[in-house]
Amino acid sequence: MKPPRFRYCSPESLEEALAVLGEFGDEAKPLAGGQSLIPMLNMRLARPSVLVDLNRIPALAGIERTDRFLRIGAMTRHRAVERSESVARAQPLLAEAIGYVGHLPIRTRGTVGGSIAHADPAAELPGVLLALDGTVELQSRRGHRTVPARDFFVDLLTTSADPDELVIAVRFPVLPPRSGTAWLEVARRHGDYALVGVGAVVTLAEDRRTIRDARLCFIGVGNTPVRATGAEAALRGQPAAADTWRSAAEAVRNELDPASDIHASAQYRRSVAGVLTERALALAVQRAQEGTAG
Amino acid sequence: MNTIATERRVIRVVVNGSPYEREVEARLLLSDFLRHELGLTGTHVGCEHGVCGACTVLLDGEPVRSCLMFAVQADGHEIETVEGLAPNEAELHPLQRAFWEKHGLQCGYCTPGMLMVLKAFLAENPDPSEEEIREAISGNLCRCTGYQNIVEAARYAAQLLRQR
Ligand SMILES: Cc1cc2nc3c(=O)[nH]c(=O)nc-3n(C[C@H](O)[C@H](O)[C@H](O)COP(=O)(O)OP(=O)(O)OC[C@H]3O[C@@H](n4cnc5c(N)ncnc54)[C@H](O)[C@@H]3O)c2cc1C
Ligand code: FES
Ligand code: FES
């Protein structure tokens, strides 16, 4: 297995990178951590004629905190997110999920922007972003735009970014008070892509016993990450109690429509999604009540 | 110029402390560069898609899959391979000694990758739990040992390294 021939460039500024992408259009591909793209090149599943290496653009990496969100530069490595105290404090769902991405040497190279742009339906970061109603910052020679996660993930490995657009940063909103989150998943072995994963985000009312808002986002159950909007709506105003989690799990099992593949049957995925829903809601609420967020 | 797309490039890297300069094809994997250009065949290649971990090396001290990087991307960086572990011909690195004493290998195919990922891991976690060790090597497949003695060797190596 050897990659096909390509031409390679390693621009040192965003402007240069955007210029090359603008010039070559869909003939060119950005190279971030390479942890998904290089396997595809090695297996000759991808044949770009030009690779635009983003690894020498320092301005694309970094973690910034604003009032409303955590802004993570596209070339920030998974490992940097895992080590970041500001992520642990400001965005516990992301902090919890990141350790499930592949293995240590994969996270050393893999990037936040790469995971989002690659849009694998079993990948953690797209699920986290959709659970939090985050946004993606795109830039091309033509300009800058921000796209909400729900409009970004379009289909299997397909996003609404144009070929000349780069993901330059990803915005993970911070949570309102009395919120808790939980990320849980089932995989064959630690570090494998999830068979099913769930991110739960719960905000309690002032009494701390009633659910004001709940979000449930699943990975591994469709062509994109999937929100269980029916179950979410039914959770609003309900008491924070075991019966509520059971009904939510039932709603999730009815609502999701996973496919069967060599890794697991649809029925198994639906069943696991229900079990994870119960556990994740209970854990997120416990964290919200303890004020430990995640 | 780095913005001009080319099929070949001249690169400079430091491998196990020695500088090298070579002209390479852009599509040459770092694993093949180490093995075929530099003759450092200690870095093994199992799957070439990131799954087996046999090709793990250190890039500026951090563990990476050398099959998931191009040699041109290592330009200007430092690489350490299994050949760089032992201080001299007569002595083993504490990790190698631990693998040898605790039977942490059988055929040895996975060993270079195991040693390199553990070197980086133990530098950051000098006194890990068994569970942390298992997680650290979760991206390295071994078809012989059943992992038991690898975990044992890693614990022993941590102890040897702490005593240094
Ligand atoms: C053994 C193994 C196990 C793994 N397990 C998991 C797992 O459990 N969970 C998980 O989520 N992932 C997993 N991965 C994938 C890994 O997380 C990848 O790193 C990630 O999906 C892609 O990020 P990257 O930076 O490596 O991107 P690359 O591989 O460089 O790029 C991926 C795609 O995105 C495009 N792209 C990259 N950056 C940008 C950008 N800024 N703007 C526009 N397009 C861009 C590229 O052109 C390419 O098409 C695994 C990988 C391996 C090899
Ligand atoms: S050869 Fe690189 S991970 Fe298998
Ligand atoms: S010792 Fe043979 S593969 Fe690990």
- The ligand placed nearest to the CA atom of residue A26 is 1
Q: Is residue B69 part of a domain?
A: yes
> For B30-56, what is each residue's pLDDT tens digit?
999 999 999 999 999 999 999 999 999
| Token pair in block for residue B62 | 């951090």
**Which of A178, A81, A166 minimizes the C-alpha distance to A116?**
A166
Contact residues on chain A for B117, CB-CB shorter than 8 A? 104-105
Task: Give yes or no for A105 touching B (CB within 8 A).
Answer: yes
Domain holding B102: CATH number? 1.10.150.120
Confirm or reject: Cβ of B44 under 6 Å from ligand 2.
no
Q: B35: domain range? A: 3-84
The one-letter amino acid at A228 = A
Mean pLDDT value across residues A143-170? 97
Which of the listed residues B53, B84, B115 is the one where a domain comes to its end? B84
Check whether B58 has a pLDDT greater than 80: yes
Show the CA angle centred on residue A77, arms to residues A180 and A113, nearest 5°.
80
The answer to whether residues B24 and B77 belong to one domain is: yes
Average model confidence (pLDDT) across chain B: 97
Q: What is the pLDDT of residue A69?
A: 97
Q: What is the pLDDT of residue A25?
A: 87
Does B21 have pLDDT greater than 90?
A: yes
Q: Which of B50, B66, B84 is the last residue of a domain?
A: B84
| Domains in chain A: ranges and CATH | 7-53 (3.30.43.10), 58-173 (3.30.465.10), 179-289 (3.30.390.50)
Assigned domain for B33 exists? yes
ipTM of the modeled complex: 0.96
Higher pLDDT, A33 or B4: A33
- Segment A255-274 shows an average pLDDT of 96
How many domains does one find in chain B? Answer: 2
Coil, strand or helix at B164: coil
Q: Let me know whether B80 and B104 are in one domain.
A: no
B105 and B76 together in one domain: no
Does residue B108 sit in the same domain as residue B78?
no
Question: Which residues in A263-278 are b (16+ Cβ under 10 Å) and which e?
Answer: ebeeeebbebbbbbbb
Q: What is the DSSP letter of B145?
A: S
Judge whether B104 and B152 are in contact, CB under 8 Å. Answer: yes
B77 shares its domain with B115: no
Residues B117 and B151 in one domain: yes
Q: Residue A208 contacts by C-beta under 8 Å, 6 or more apart in sequence? A: A178, A240, A288, A289
B52 lines ligand 2 (CB under 6 A): yes
Ligand 1 neighbourhood includes A220 CB (under 6 angstroms): no
Which ligand has the minimum distance to the alpha carbon of residue B46?
2
Residues of B in contact with A114 (CB under 8 A): none
Place of tokens 């201080």: B87
* Six-digit token string for A241: 């109690």
- Average pLDDT value for chain A: 96
What is the mean predicted confidence (pLDDT) over A54-72? 97
User: Quick check: is B58 in a domain?
Assistant: yes
What's the pLDDT tens digit per position in B117-140? 999 999 999 999 999 999 999 999
Residues of A in contact with B9 (CB under 8 A): 8
Q: Determine contact: A54 vs chain B, CB below 8 A.
A: no
Name the residue with the closest Cα to ligand 1, atom 37.
Answer: A114
Last residue of a domain, one of B84, B111, B141: B84
Mean predicted confidence (pLDDT) in A182-210: 94
Searching chain A, which residue's CA lies closest to the CA of residue B7? A7
Mean pLDDT of the A10-17 span: 97
Label residue A156 by pLDDT band (50, 70, 90). Answer: very high
pTM for this entry: 0.97
Q: Assign residue B23 the CATH number of its domain.
A: 3.10.20.30
Residue of A2, A6, A8 best to disrupt the B interface, most CBs of B under 10 A: A8
A211-226, pLDDT tens digit by residue? Answer: 999 999 999 999 999 9
* Residue of B30, B32, B33, B49 with the most ligand 2 atoms within 8 Å of its CB, for mutation: B49
In a domain, B89, yes or no: no
- pLDDT score, position A1: 58
Ligand 1 pocket residue status of A30, Cβ below 6 Å: yes
Is residue B63 less than 8 Å (CB to CB) from chain A? yes
> Is B68 in the same domain as B109?
no
pLDDT value of residue A254: 96
Phi, psi values for residue A117, rounded to 5°: -70, -35
